[in-house]
Amino acid sequence: MARMPELSHGRRMLVLAICCMSLLIVSLDNTVLNVALPAMQREFRASTSGLQWTIDAYTLVLASLLMLAGSTADRIGRRRVFMAGLVVFTLGSLLCSLAPDLSWLVAFRMVQAVGGEWGHLPGL
């Protein structure tokens, strides 16, 4: 089995900082969503269960893809999967901001979760 070359201290710190930032972004997104729930309930005239789905859909997809994301990263490269995750998460966030109703928001949160899962992987 081929060994990975040893990273310099600066490179390791950069990788750590990027991974921490990706986790911060995902966590911040969930915090913002929780704060926005009352406004979303008024705007979309949503039920409590509908609002729950905006949170649960993300969590469900994230948990479902846990094993697949790791094996995909092993096959095509952690850096590629990580970068793709950031792009998909950003696209999902943009779509969430444009969602015309609650059902679209839930669907776009699922897209966001795919990117969030890939973005958790140690990249670079």
Average the pLDDT over 41-67 and give the result: 92
Give me the number of domains the chain comprises. 1
Residue pair 100/63 in contact (Cβ under 8 Å)? The answer is no
Tell me the pLDDT band of 117, cut-offs 50, 70 and 90: confident
Question: pTM of this prediction?
Answer: 0.84
**Within 13 Å and on the Cβ side, how many CA atoms surround 110?**
10
Does residue 68 fall inside a structural domain?
yes
Boundaries of domain holding 99 = 9-118
Does residue 18 fall inside a structural domain?
yes
Q: What pLDDT is recorded for position 4?
A: 58
